[in-house]
């Protein structure tokens, strides 16, 4: 792996890390497996791209994207809590609907951002070399999101969110409306995923309706890698691990794509297989370790 | 304090599995009453408590707590007035949260939750003080996760959490049934102390007739969704397990004689 490829992987790891933080919130904290993210990532990208091409400030476009993702998450959560649709199914329904909505937003399957203003302009103007601008911006955003989520989960509402995932009956008997909390939590999660999608679109210079495929798998892979490598004993540690897990995941993918055995090379289309193998090995590693130690 | 008027509750109404759980229950409970509730399995004890707590709504009838008609209030809204301790010690606390986090959650029962810190520094001393009263050494373990505690410790903590903010009504659903006899007695003693101290209006379901007689100032026996016995004051004080068993087996249409032989 070249230094340049590694840099790109870290960059990707950080920007998708924001998505992974969102996935951790639903998957682990709320115990709500949420596939909406496959739709809300491109939703954030489309909103941001369309906003920018309409002359809206790129930073402001991120806020709108976040709000759009939040709404999408709320739809899934309302379907689940108020209408008793199974969480997985509710999220698949929202995801499918978002496919059409995203094409509507972009008036087509994609929007290019060539020559448009982006959030990277500001740091480039400050003298950061353009190939590092992504890294700087993404690290900044990832840190802000990470700090916010850890702070938020330490608040009174945040503690209630943790309790809903842990023991819904108990927290209901303490006067918390679990439906409201789930709607808030899944909304927030998808808001972060959309923010991640918006930043990705600005970085790669286009939003595309297909860019969300496999988001949840990449998210879960990162979550599991993070937990396995860095642990999850406290909330702060768990979220830091999720972000780092995302970086390790992207590095591992870059490494795998750069491998060469004689005449054989991996194609980008082999990514899904690599991801599956990664997740499986991360899942069985603790078990394997225990057995080896026992011997 | 609590007034139940004509409470009727069916389960699976209209299907082959229809169960008539509560049959037109009328019950007035005064402030400061400590009512023990007994009855065989399926008599409607838990259904009654769950109706009061708002876990489900009655098919007809009215529930009034503290002059407020709460019949249509969802469970989380009634938490303002009601505290509960469940039979399963695992249900009353969050295992992956620390002791202080659990207590902080309970200290906001029925209140608005905002962006202030979940556990506040000034609460810590108060929590530690309250835990010291339990005498289980939990006051030194504020930062331990509750999942590490034993069932008895968790139930003691739950009792404390349920009464930190004085509830208008305390509901105990066989809260010592899942504990070993020694721990059960400790928790029962703690329950009595807390109820006496706060003069709490309490409903306690129990399967133990001794406990039903020994505790509280009023005893209710449910059978097939109706109140079969309602004793208080003198009447309750003079009650023996033998009397209760006699009543109990009358409902089954059996003679006591046989059982008294068996029970010695």
Give the separation between CA B39 and CA A120, rounded to whole angstroms. 71
Cβ–Cβ below 8 Å for B108 and A175: yes
B165 lies within 8 A of chain A by CB? no
pLDDT of residue B261: 47
pLDDT tens digits, one per residue of A190-237? 999 999 999 999 999 999 999 999 899 899 999 999 998 899 899 999
**Is the Cβ pair B95, A166 closer than 8 Å?**
yes
Closest Cα of chain B to A236: distance in Å? Answer: 13
Give me the residue from B75, B109, B118 closest to A159, CB to CB.
Answer: B118
Nearest to A163 among B75, B94, B116 (CB): B94
Q: Closest Cα partner for B127 from B150, B154, B152, B157? A: B157
pLDDT of residue B35: 96
**Which segments within B30-143 are labelled E, that is strand?**
34-38, 60-65, 68-69, 82-85
Q: Is A173 on the interface with B (CB under 8 A)?
A: yes
Contact B57, B70 (CB under 8 A): no
| DSSP per position, B178-208 | TS-HHHHHHHHHHHHHHHHHHT--EEEE-S-
CB contact under 8 A, A174 and B96: no
User: Which residues 6+ apart lie within 8 Å of B191 measured at CB?
Assistant: B159, B172, B175, B176, B204, B215
**Cβ–Cβ contact A174 with B under 8 A:** yes
Instruction: Spell out the per-residue pLDDT of chain B, length 264, in tens.
Output: 899 999 999 998 888 888 888 999 999 999 999 999 998 888 899 999 999 999 999 999 999 999 999 999 999 999 999 999 999 999 999 999 999 999 999 999 999 999 999 999 899 999 999 999 888 889 999 999 999 999 999 999 999 999 999 999 999 999 999 899 998 999 999 999 999 999 999 999 998 888 999 999 999 999 888 998 899 888 888 888 888 888 777 776 655 454 544 554
Compute the distance between CA of residue A25 and CA of residue A191 in angstroms, rounded to an integer: 11
B147 touches chain A (CB under 8 A): no
**For B42-96, what is each residue's pLDDT tens digit?**
889 999 999 999 999 999 999 999 999 999 999 999 999 999 999 999 999 999 9
User: Does any domain span residue A134?
Assistant: yes
- Specify if A193 maps to a domain: yes
- Rounded to whole angstroms, the Cα distance separating A201 from A210 reads 12
Q: Which residue shows structure tokens 């999608």?
A: A197
In a domain? residue A190: yes
List, for residues A25-58, the tens digit of each pLDDT value.
999 999 999 999 999 999 999 999 999 999 999 9
Q: Rounded to the nearest 5 degrees, what angle is found at the Cα of A187, between the Cα atoms of A181 and A191?
A: 145
A212 contacts A194 by C-beta, under 8 angstroms:
no
For the segment(s) B2-92+167-263, the CATH number from 3.40.50.300, 3.30.70.870, 3.40.640.10, 3.90.1150.170 is: 3.40.50.300
* Cα–Cα dist B117/A159, whole Å: 9
d(CA A167, nearest CA chain B) in Å:
6
> Rounded CA gap, A126 and B100, in Å?
46
Report residues of chain A scoring pLDDT below 50.
none
Domain that holds residue A178: 3-212
- Residue A291 forms part of a structural domain: no
Put simply, whether A28 touches B (Cβ < 8 Å) is no
Q: How many A-B residue pairs are in contact by the CB < 8 A criterion?
A: 82
- pLDDT at position B254 is 54
Distance between CA B35 and CA B238 in Å, rounded?
16
Cross-chain residue pair A163–B97, CB shorter than 8 Å: yes
Q: Indicate the number of domains in chain A.
A: 1
For A81, list phi and psi in degrees, rounded to 5.
-80, -50
The packing angle between helices A235-258 and A3-24, to 10°, is 140
Q: What angle do CA B106, B110, B113 make, to 5 degrees?
A: 80
């Amino acid at each position: 792996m070249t230094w340049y490829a590694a840099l790109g992987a870290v960059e990707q790891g950080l920007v998708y890390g924001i998505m992974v933080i969102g996935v951790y919130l639903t998957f682990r904290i709320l115990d709500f497996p949420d596939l909406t993210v496959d739709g809300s990532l491109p939703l954030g990208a489309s909103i941001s791209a369309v906003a920018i091409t309409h002359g809206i400030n790129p930073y402001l476009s991120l806020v709108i994207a976040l709000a759009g993702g939040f709404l999408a998450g709320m739809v899934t959560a309302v379907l689940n809590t108020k209408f008793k649709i199974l969480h997985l199914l509710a999220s698949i329904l929202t995801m499918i609907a978002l496919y059409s909505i995203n094409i509507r937003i972009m008036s087509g399957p994609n929007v290019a951002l060539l020559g448009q203003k982006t959030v990277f302009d500001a740091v480039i103007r400050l003298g950061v070399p353009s190939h590092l601008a992504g890294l700087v911006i993404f690290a900044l955003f990832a840190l802000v999101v990470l700090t916010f989520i850890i702070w938020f989960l330490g608040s009174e509402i945040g503690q209630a969110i943790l309790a809903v995932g842990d023991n819904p009956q108990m927290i209901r008997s303490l006067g918390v409306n679990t439906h409201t909390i789930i709607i808030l939590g899944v909304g927030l999660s998808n808001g972060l995923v959309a923010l991640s999608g918006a930043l990705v679109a600005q970085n790669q210079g286009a939003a595309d309706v297909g860019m969300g495929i496999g988001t949840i798998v990449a998210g879960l892979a990162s979550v599991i890698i993070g937990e396995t490598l860095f642990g999850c004993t406290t909330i702060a540690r768990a979220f830091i691990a999720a972000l780092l897990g995302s970086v390790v995941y992207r590095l591992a993918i870059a490494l795998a794509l750069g491998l060469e055995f004689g005449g054989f090379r991996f194609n980008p289309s082999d990514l899904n297989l690599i991801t599956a193998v990664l997740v499986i090995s991360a899942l069985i590693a603790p078990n394997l370790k225990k057995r080896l130690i026992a011997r | 304090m609590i007034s139940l008027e004509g409470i009727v509750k069916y389960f699976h109404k209209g299907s082959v599995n229809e169960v008539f759980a509560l049959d037109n229950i009328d019950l007035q409970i005064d402030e400061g009453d400590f009512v023990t509730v007994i009855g065989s399995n399926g008599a409607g004890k838990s259904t009654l408590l769950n109706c009061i707590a708002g876990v489900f709504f009655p098919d007809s009838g009215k529930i009034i707590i503290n002059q407020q008609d709460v019949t249509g209030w969802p469970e989380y809204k009634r938490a303002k007035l009601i505290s509960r301790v469940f039979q399963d010690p695992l249900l009353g606390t969050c295992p992956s949260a620390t002791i202080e986090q659990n207590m902080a959650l309970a200290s906001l029962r029925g209140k608005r939750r905002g962006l202030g810190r979940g556990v506040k520094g000034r609460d810590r001393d108060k929590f530690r003080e309250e835990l010291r009263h339990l005498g289980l050494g939990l006051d030194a373990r504020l930062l331990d996760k509750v999942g590490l505690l034993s069932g008895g410790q968790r139930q003691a903590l739950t009792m404390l959490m349920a009464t930190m903010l004085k509830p208008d009504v305390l509901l105990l659903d066989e809260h010592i049934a899942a504990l070993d006899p020694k721990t059960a007695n400790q928790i029962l003693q703690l329950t009595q102390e807390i109820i006496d101290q706060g003069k709490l209006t309490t409903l306690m379901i129990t399967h133990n007739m001794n406990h039903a007689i020994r505790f509280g100032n009023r005893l209710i026996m449910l059978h097939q969704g109706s109140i079969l016995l309602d004793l208080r004051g003198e009447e309750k004080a003079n009650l023996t397990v033998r009397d209760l068993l006699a009543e109990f087996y009358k409902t089954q249409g059996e003679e006591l004689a046989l059982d008294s032989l068996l029970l010695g």
